[in-house]
A = this chain, B = another copy of it.
Amino acid sequence: KKILVIPGDGIGQEVTTWGQKVLTAIAANYHHQFTFEEGIMGHVAIEATGDPLPEETLQKAKNSDAILFGAIGHAKYDNDPTLKVRPEQGLLKIRKELGLYANLRPIKLFDELLEASSIKPEILRGSDILFFRELTGDVYFGEKKRTEDRNTASDLMIYHRYEVERIARKAYEAARSRRKKLCSVDKANVLEASRLWREVMQEVAKEYPDVETEHMFIDNAAMQLIKDPKRFDVVVTGNLFGDILTDEASQIAGSMGMLASASVGDTVGFYEPIHGSAHDIAGKGIANPLASILSAALMLDISFGLKTESQRVIKAVEATLRQGYRTMDIANKHTENEFIMGTDAMG
């Protein structure tokens, strides 16, 4: 298996090392052959080549069996919205080029972290949500315009029937093998793109009569997610709403530093933490490596079909937490016998 590793920017550099080390350890222990290549993307790629996604990285990606990615973004661009070449363009382009239309974000709380969240333990206990975020459409990829006087700016929020259909099917298939509940999130009371979304969802729902379907407006969903996370099983939504809801949902898992994601579509799978480059803590060796390690676990499961190996990684993460090891983001100020560690020790 050929794995392309793209550490990217900020803490992506530190945490991705750990995802890769875990893959190496699994290969050794279970006698698999994983070969690794490295690619650049984002701010580091702009610095090196002027291009956030150099052609060479894209070619390597297309020739690989799976990709382990870190994070993207840099304060320089965040502080200057007039810059034309931006790190995030690399990530958006690779998602589009590889046809990664379905982004799976499992939100599951490790028992050991029940106290690490700002949400009450009795609200959280038993939460287990699988998000399907559409990843190659929506206002992310619709035409962007700026008038010549620079006083008006726009982005087209657009969806095509086939885009909604294919993510709907993926989400329903997953719901079938889980608790058979699917919640589709949109803003159909205001947006035409959402009305198409809801129409298509209602049609596809008929093919899955065994799954209970619910439609929810995004504003309500953002509220319900915190009020009663246990009511959700599979959640399917568009690119923008999915971006917002899954970051919010990180509070259900205790920290962003715990959440992995898998982007799949036509061919190669792409695995990444849902956290960003976090330049405020980058280079300090305090970032949580578990999201990258859990991304590696998702890769073993989804791209390679190695369920045992994937479970082995998840069990190792659980064991580490049970022994009391914590990075700062998941440390609980009220509990004793915890050891606050750096990225390396935690990995």
Interface residues of A (CB under 8 A from B): 73, 77-78, 81-82, 86-88, 92, 118-120, 123, 139-140, 142, 144-146, 150-162, 187-196, 198-199, 202, 215, 218-220, 222-223, 225-228, 240-241, 243-248, 250-251, 256, 276
Contact B192–A153 (Cβ < 8 Å) = yes
Contact A154 B158, CB 8 Å, known A81-B199, A219-B243: yes
Which of B92, B193, B247 lies in contact with A153, CB distance below 8 A?
B193
Distance of A50 Cα from B61 Cα, bound (Å): 56
Which of B123, B152, B198 lies in contact with A159, CB distance below 8 A?
B152
Q: How far is the CB of A143 from chain B (nearest CB, A)?
A: 9
Distance of A240 Cα from B222 Cα, bound (Å): 12
Contact B156–A154 (Cβ < 8 Å) = yes
Which of B82, B139, B193, B220 lies in contact with A199, CB distance below 8 A?
B82
- Which residues does chain B contribute within 8 Å of A155, judged by CB atoms? 156-157, 191-193
Q: How far is the CB of A32 from chain B (nearest CB, A)?
A: 35
Distance of A195 Cα from B153 Cα, bound (Å): 8
Which of B153, B157, B226 lies in contact with A119, CB distance below 8 A?
B226
Q: Which residue of B lies closest to A242 (CB)?
A: B219
Q: Which residue of B lies closest to A240 (CB)?
A: B187
Q: How far is the CB of A286 from chain B (nearest CB, A)?
A: 17
- Which residues does chain B contribute within 8 Å of A88, judged by CB atoms? 189-190
How many copies of the chain does the oligomer comprise? 2
Q: How far is the CB of A60 from chain B (nearest CB, A)?
A: 24
Q: Which residue of B lies closest to A149 (CB)?
A: B161
- Which residues does chain B contribute within 8 Å of A118, judged by CB atoms? 119-120, 123, 226-228
Given contacts A140-B190, A152-B158, 11 further A-B contacts (CB under 8 A): A77-B189, A88-B190, A144-B192, A152-B161, A153-B158, A153-B159, A154-B156, A154-B158, A154-B159, A157-B157, A244-B244
Which of B123, B154, B189 lies in contact with A142, CB distance below 8 A?
B154
Distance of A178 Cα from B189 Cα, bound (Å): 35
Contact A81–B228 (Cβ < 8 Å) = no
Which of B73, B81, B223, B247 lies in contact with A223, CB distance below 8 A?
B247
Q: How far is the CB of A100 from chain B (nearest CB, A)?
A: 16
- Which residues does chain B contribute within 8 Å of A120, judged by CB atoms? 118-120
Contact A244–B256 (Cβ < 8 Å) = no
Which of B77, B190, B195, B220 lies in contact with A92, CB distance below 8 A?
B190
Q: How far is the CB of A219 from chain B (nearest CB, A)?
A: 4
- Which residues does chain B contribute within 8 Å of A215, judged by CB atoms? 78
Q: How far is the CB of A155 from chain B (nearest CB, A)?
A: 5
- Which of A88, A139, A246 has most B Cβ within 10 Å? A139
- Which residues does chain B contribute within 8 Å of A190, judged by CB atoms? 88, 92, 140
Contact A248 B226, CB 8 Å, known A88-B190, A188-B81: yes
Contact B223–A251 (Cβ < 8 Å) = yes
Contact A152 B156, CB 8 Å, known A120-B118, A146-B196, A219-B243: no
- Which of A152, A154, A187 has most B Cβ within 10 Å? A154
